[in-house]
Amino acid sequence: MSEVLLSARNLTKRFGGLAAVNEVSVDLWRGRIHAVIGPNGAGKSTLANLLSGDLAPTSGTITLGEANVTGWKPESVSKAGLGRSYQKTNIFLPFTVWENVRLAAQSRAPHPARWLRRATSFAATNERAQRALALAGLEHRKDAVAGTVSHGEQRQLEIAMTLATEPRVLLLDEPLAGMGTVEAERMVELLQRLKAEHAVMLVEHDMDAVFALADRLTVMVNGQVIASGTPAQIRADANVQAAYLGEEH
């Protein structure tokens, strides 16, 4: 069943005189992958930073589930249900795959008096980690040291670590960057699996993957949305062809 899990309205972020994000609205639905594309400097990362709370908007609102999370700190936005994987890796390379996911799951455990935590809460954390690992397709690599697994598996691990916080909305920054064909195919399959239970927003430069994966696209140029719609609508949009796709094709 489809449902809007995150809704941003008229988001603007100014850096001095530059509107890096200018009156952008976007809805993220459970069951859909929403890709944000656009040339370098279009404002994609800034938009992602606004949604995750890494930057506060100059104006506009962000609603996550029932909560108005505008201006909330990243940790609070994360607790409210938004999981973000970053381009820059957050993995502890000397730890095993399992230890990394377990640590991420633990970050969601109640804060006060961790030392008093009962066995049941340890079990719950382990279960969360186990589910995330399985969903990301990494169970068979559980005991491998994170620094020794392939680049593609490290990207899967980042997603597993994000999933371990049990988000409803997933914000993924270039999950296919630097991947070979086989790894990219595996990641595409993973993302398709994830959208069943999540709303997924993707910032990605690989246009073949974007058009294969996305149910909806938002095209940004110079901070503004120039088109928004299904892949077929975006392909047919004259503004998009002129402003963006024309560059590459």
Ligand X SMILES: Nc1ncnc2c1ncn2[C@@H]1O[C@H](COP(=O)(O)OP(=O)(O)OP(=O)(O)O)[C@@H](O)[C@H]1O
Q: Which residues bind ligand X (CB under 6 A)?
A: 15, 18, 20, 38, 40-46
Burial zone of 143 (CB within 10 Å; 0-12 exposed, 13-18 middle, 19+ buried): exposed
The burial class, CB within 10 Å (0-12 / 13-18 / 19+), for 113 is exposed
Strand order in the sheet with 199-203: 82-85, 169-173, 199-203, 33-37, 216-221, 224-229
Cβ proximity to ligand X, 118 vs 249, nearer residue:
249
The answer to whether the CB of 30 falls within 8 A of the CB of 23 is: no
Q: Which is nearer to ligand X, 39 or 231 (CB)?
A: 39
* Minimum distance, C-beta of residue 47 to ligand X, in the bound complex (Å): 7
CB atoms within 10 A of CB 54: 15
- State the minimum distance, in angstroms, from the CB of residue 167 to ligand X: 21
User: Of the two residues 50 and 164, which places its CB atom closer to ligand X in the complex?
Assistant: 50
Pick 50 or 194: Cβ nearer ligand X: 50
What is the enclosing helix (H) or strand (E) of 220? strand 216-221
CB of 53 to ligand X, least distance (A): 15
List the one residue out of 112, 128, 50 whose CA is nearest residue 82.
50
> The tokens 């049941």 sit on which residue?
120
| Residue with Cβ nearer ligand X (15 or 122) | 15
